[in-house]
Amino acid sequence: MELKKINEFTWQIDKQDSMKVPTIIYASEKLLEKIKQDKTLEQAKNVACLKGIQKASYAMPDAHQGYGFSIGGVAAFDMDEGIISPGGVGYDINCGVRLLRTDLKADDALSKRKQFLDEIHKEVPAGVGKGGITKVTKDVLMEVLSKGAKWAVEQGYGTADDLQKTEEYGNMKADTNAVSERALQRGIPQLGTLGAGNHFLEMQKVDQIFDKEIAKSFGIDEAGQIMVMIHCGSRGLGHQVASDYIKKMEDKYGTQGLPDRELINAPISSELGQKYYNAMCAAVNFAFVNRQMITHWTRDVFKKVFGSSEGMNQVYDVCHNLAKFEKHEIDGQKKEVCVHRKGATRSFGPGRVEVPEVYRNIGQPVIIPGSMGTASYLMVGTKKAEEISFGSTAHGAGRVMSRHEAIRNYRGEQVKKDLETKGIIVKGPWKGLAEETWQAYKDIDEVVKTSHKLGIGNLVARLVPLAVMKG
């Protein structure tokens, strides 16, 4: 596979064989070496063969191998000729990240971190097999799937300001009839849960500010300010939606002509394509509600531990896994396309109506979570991203070591000790701690530096963890 260097951070596989467009990889040389270790490049090339793909198949700086599409893969498809693919969205639909600001300073928070973690552990259901503490009926779940975060706010789990500062304003229009009974049954006990795997809730402090003016607009006043980051998704409900529609699409359209059967898809304009889109939107809404409820409980814990949750406002909530209809400039014309972002973050610059009014002159906040023990970053979306990556950037550091290797090489107890040496306290299963150890991820500093230098997301602030609850 010939990889052509376009510039320091851009690599291209030219259009060849059945490719309809080229493949573009955004990575530094260091990141590219890691990307080459699995099938990321082959997957990005396969996506370039799909019907109706526009401009190019893209891999973001943190790309790694996924199901069909690579994680960190971005592709946009023509609304008439193009396809929609569950593999291009991923199983954990709308896995995403939410960032909250506080008025608290690190010096005031450090002594109560353990109490914070103990309380948050009581309030927020997390880990394998942990069900939600909010019991909902099927009728209520249907409302959740239809209204998204708006439902949560109506129930007292947040504010109108939270909705304003959520991608899609916390709701994608969904026909909930497209969601199977099985998916509903998996969703009912999991509403308001963090889940297991690499999901977390983290108390952080602002370590460094790169752009004071934009940071201020995002609610960050100074270094040392306490922030809270929540990372979770649509749990089993989203997973079931993906499973259901992969089966349906295979039954209806088969896999003939596909470079990889994991790229099973349906025309966007088909009845089945529309049904998947609607079910996916319902799962997106479920994930928004999950993060909204966890936000509410986090505020409660703050009130209890620190005496107040005043000023604990949402900076933004971004999605990592979904397909959306967006307008982008293609061949000099504005055109509506179906953008698949799988393990990628939307990164819209100033002026887009999708960006909340409060940030519209600046660009949207882009939240890039690190793993336990590493920094996370707050960035700002750019016009450049709209031009060269369908308004997308990286989503996190990406995994370079298998879970087993992580467990074999880093014992949970040792990970906990190491983190404590760095001033970070953790709560979670020992095994989970080893799985998510920071050595298991690509260098997040390298990922965000690449995004920044490319201009597909500009640095605003660096956040470092103080206390982590692992799912």
Partner 1 sequence: MANSNNNRIITEAINNYNRYRKPEAVAELISFKDNKSIIKFSGHFRHTCCVNDYFDDFVVECNNKVKIKEIKEKKEFYLVEFSPIDK
Give catalytic residues, as residue numbers: 395
Relative to beta strand 321-330, strand 10-13 is: unpaired
A 10 A CB-CB count for 166 gives 27
For partner 1, the closer of residues 186 and 462 by Cβ is: 186
How far apart, in whole angstroms, are the C-alpha atoms of residue 448 and residue 377? Answer: 8
CB of 247 to partner 1, least distance (A): 5
Short-list 271, 272, 269, 268, CA closest to 250: 272
Contacting residues toward partner 1, per CB under 8 A: 38, 64-67, 71, 90-92, 95, 128-129, 182, 186, 195-199, 233, 235-236, 239-240, 243, 246-247, 250, 262, 399, 402-404, 407-408, 431
CB of 72 to partner 1, least distance (A): 12
For partner 1, the closer of residues 102 and 345 by Cβ is: 345
How far apart, in whole angstroms, are the C-alpha atoms of residue 97 and residue 438? Answer: 18
How far apart, in whole angstroms, are the C-alpha atoms of residue 373 and residue 45? Answer: 34
Which amino acid would we find at residue 31? L
For partner 1, the closer of residues 120 and 406 by Cβ is: 406
Helix, strand, or coil (residue 339): strand
Cβ pair 76, 270 in contact under 8 A? no
How far apart, in whole angstroms, are the C-alpha atoms of residue 306 and residue 405? Answer: 39
For partner 1, the closer of residues 95 and 99 by Cβ is: 95
| Length of the chain measured in residues | 471
Tell me how many degrees the CA angle 107-109-113 measures, rounded to the nearest 5: 135
CB of 92 to partner 1, least distance (A): 5
How far apart, in whole angstroms, are the C-alpha atoms of residue 401 and residue 107? Answer: 35
For partner 1, the closer of residues 255 and 274 by Cβ is: 255
